[in-house]
Amino acid sequence: MTLQQRLTATEALLCPGVYDPLSALVATQAGFEGLYLSGASIAYTHLGRSDVGLTTYSEVESTLARITDRVDTPVIVDADTGFGNALNMQRTVRGFERAGAAMIQIEDQGFPKRCGHLDGKTVISLDEMCGKIKAALDARHSPDTLIMARTDALAVEGWDAAMTRAEAYLACGVDALFIEALRDPSQLKSAGALFGGRIPLLANMVEGGKTPITPVPELQSYGFKIVIFPGGTVRAVVKQLQGYYGSLQAHQTTDPWHDQMLDFDGLNAVIETPALMATAKKYAGD
């Protein structure tokens, strides 16, 4: 089933954040029907840095390609601002499409961009963003490669300007909309009422961010079709690593952590080592 087909279903699509092939594999094994690869998750895990525009096109493209080589689950990928102007946007869309993206998310922030839940953002003009959207739509080779437009204008220009931008991006022909950092249930409901019946609308759940964490069924009732928890994976992993490393340093052995980790065979089962070895044997010859 393509992502486009899945978005015609009644139920909202819940996409957890992933940041490499292993996290994508575990999420797929848990039964998720879509995955979300954010620039923030790559900054956190590949650079050990904040989401302040440090990640590059090539870092995201190579991470995406490794994920789609490992799992078949549709991936929504964060293309930030397209990493430049309209020409850069076209290169980004073509490259991410080749790397297996099911949906490519582009946004209207100025450079340097930053996490949508950090203060101090800027946005480019409405006309410039519409030009970049049209460039993105023209660059894709397959209509199955979906383009989602995100606006960060709410925090910069206010509610009315953000809604005007969302309307304009919808008119450009995008396949989905993302209004970043909605502040409260009232704004979530209002955005859903304005756009939910016309186009797949995405809700971004960031633990400790600007938008209140809201259960998927409730967001679905407001009109949202896609719900992402993009950074929760990294936050959960870091919490576990703090506990693991703290225990190892304190006890000089992993024994106290035994019940909270996989052993050698357990990890090999998750990453499907027996099947891999069987494939190797198939081609080994006599």
Q: What is the pLDDT of residues 181-207, one digit of tens each?
A: 999 999 999 999 999 999 999 999 999
Determine the pLDDT at residue 110. Answer: 87
Q: How far apart are CA 235 and CA 48, in angstroms?
A: 12
Range of the domain at 191: 3-237
- Residue 153 covered by a domain: yes
Report the phi/psi class of residue 241: left, alpha or beta, with left for phi > 0 and alpha for psi in -120 to 50: alpha
- Residue 186 covered by a domain: yes
Give per-residue burial for 214-245: e unless 16+ CB within 10 Å, then b.
Answer: bebeebbebbbbbbbbbbbbbeeeeeeeeeee
Determine the pLDDT at residue 116. Answer: 65
State the DSSP code for 254: S
101's tokens: 């993206």
Per the structure, the count of domains in the chain is 1
Determine the pLDDT at residue 23. Answer: 98
- Residue 77 covered by a domain: yes
Percent of the chain residues topping a pLDDT of 70: 99
- Tell me which residue of 81, 101, 106, 94 sits closest to 18, measured CA to CA: 101
Please, where are the H alpha helices in 7-104?
Answer: 21-29, 39-42, 57-70, 86-98
165's tokens: 């931008």
- Residue 251 covered by a domain: no
Specify the CATH number for the domain of residue 26. 3.20.20.60
Helix (H, G, I), strand (E, B) or coil at 151: strand
Q: How far apart are CA 121 and CA 93, in angstroms?
A: 24
Query: Parallel, antiparallel, or unpaired: how do β-strands 226-229 and 13-18 relate?
Result: parallel
- Residue 257 covered by a domain: no
Report the chain's C-alpha Rg in angstroms. Answer: 20
- Residue 115 covered by a domain: yes
Percent of the chain residues topping a pLDDT of 90: 91
Read off the pLDDT of residues 198-237 as tens digits, 9 standing for 90 and up. Answer: 999 999 999 998 899 999 999 999 999 999 999 999 999 9
pTM of the model: 0.96
Q: Phi/psi of residue 179, each to 5°?
A: -100, 105
- Residue 279 covered by a domain: no
